[in-house]
């Protein structure tokens, strides 16, 4: 669905992204792993058009988006949850979610799915974004992206600095959104019923491709259908999520 060919990017004289080629398939989770400073966020910014690619091409379906502006990509259904969340602190939770509707037809409502995945947001609609905890802000940022009814959801380190219970909720949401039908073994029965309902709703809106940047290995492995491992601007390993352990990705990250 999203396909990148021979992408290169520089900051001044330093070659940050080196000839990257990969695909992000529909209905699946692709995780991009790599240590601090290898170029993950730079790559996401290139995908969103926030920094122009020096050379290479990017396609969204059949369409060449290499030179498309960020708002054009957003209106095509590419939603981006940046590293560090970047919600609007002075706006309320509800107003933040409504920002996600900017790309939707007039009169569009915040999808119920957002509140099904993150019920805490429903209880805090009138609260200012800046008064939420870090984890709640992350849920809000993901909720805002989901309000765009995206075809591709790009998440840059959503677990960074967040407590385990919220990490679990976020992992769960990613799985639901990607329409993964096998649910976490630990999910309680009533929780499963809720998720099935959520999956059904997502299915009605069409399927979604997810690109997840992550440094938290276990989280990435549990969600990945495919993985990409980046080192100094290059993809040095790639494969199926279920092979991450046997491929030695954890060890490669620790080196």
Ligand X SMILES: Nc1ncnc2c1ncn2[C@@H]1O[C@H](COP(=O)(O)OP(=O)(O)OP(=O)(O)O)[C@@H](O)[C@H]1O
- List interacting residues with ligand X (CB under 6 A): 11, 16, 34, 36-42, 83, 215
Q: List the interface residues with Mg ion, window 67-126 (CB under 5 A).
A: 83
**Which C-beta is closer to Mg ion: that of 36 or that of 246?**
36
Complete DSSP assignment for 151-202: SEEEEE-TTTT--HHHHHHHHHHHHHHTT--SPPTT--HHHHHHHHHHHHHH
**Which C-beta is closer to ligand X: that of 34 or that of 77?**
34
Q: How far is the CB of 58 from ligand X (least distance, A)?
A: 17
Q: Which does 135 bind (CB under 5 to 8 A by kind): Mg ion, ligand X, none?
A: none
252 to each of 28, 70, 194, how far by Cα in Å? 24, 33, 38
Give the integer Cα–Cα distance in Å for 219 and 227.
12
- In the chain, alpha helices (H): 40-48, 70-75, 93-99, 112-117, 119-123, 134-147, 164-177, 189-204, 217-223, 244-247, 249-254
**Which C-beta is closer to ligand X: that of 14 or that of 246?**
14
Instruction: Give the nearest residue (CB) to Mg ion.
Output: 41
Q: How far is the CB of 38 from ligand X (least distance, A)?
A: 4
Q: How far is the CB of 224 from ligand X (least distance, A)?
A: 17
**Which C-beta is closer to Mg ion: that of 43 or that of 176?**
43
> 226: which strand partners?
30, 240
Q: How far is the CB of 37 from Mg ion (least distance, A)?
A: 8
Q: How far is the CB of 116 from ligand X (least distance, A)?
A: 30
| Footprint of Mg ion (CB under 5 A) | 40-41, 83
């Amino acid at each position: 669905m999203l396909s990148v060919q021979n992408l290169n990017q520089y900051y001044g004289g330093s070659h940050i992204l080196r000839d990257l080629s990969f695909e992000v398939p529909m209905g699946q989770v692709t995780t991009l792993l790599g240590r601090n400073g290898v170029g993950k966020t730079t790559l996401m910014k290139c995908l969103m058009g926030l920094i122009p690619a020096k050379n290479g091409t990017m396609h969204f379906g059949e369409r060449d988006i290499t030179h498309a502006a960020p708002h054009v990509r957003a209106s095509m259904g590419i939603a981006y949850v940046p590293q560090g969340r970047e919600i609007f602190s002075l706006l309320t939770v509800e107003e933040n979610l409504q920002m996600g509707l900017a790309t939707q037809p007039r009169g569009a409502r915040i999808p119920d799915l957002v509140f099904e995945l993150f019920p805490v947001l429903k209880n805090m609609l009138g609260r200012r974004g800046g008064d939420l905890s870090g984890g709640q802000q992350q849920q809000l940022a993901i909720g805002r992206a989901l309000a765009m009814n995206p075809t591709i959801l790009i998440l840059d380190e959503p677990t960074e600095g967040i407590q385990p219970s919220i990490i679990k909720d976020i992992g769960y949401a990613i799985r639901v959104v990607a329409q993964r039908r096998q649910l976490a073994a630990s999910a309680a029965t009533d929780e499963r019923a809720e998720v099935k309902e959520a999956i059904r709703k997502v299915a009605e809106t069409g399927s979604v491709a997810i690109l997840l940047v992550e440094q938290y290995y276990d989280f990435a492995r549990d969600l990945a259908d495919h993985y990409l491992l980046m080192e100094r601007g290059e993809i040095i390993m790639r494969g199926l999520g279920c092979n991450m352990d046997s491929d030695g990705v954890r060890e490669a990250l620790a080196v």
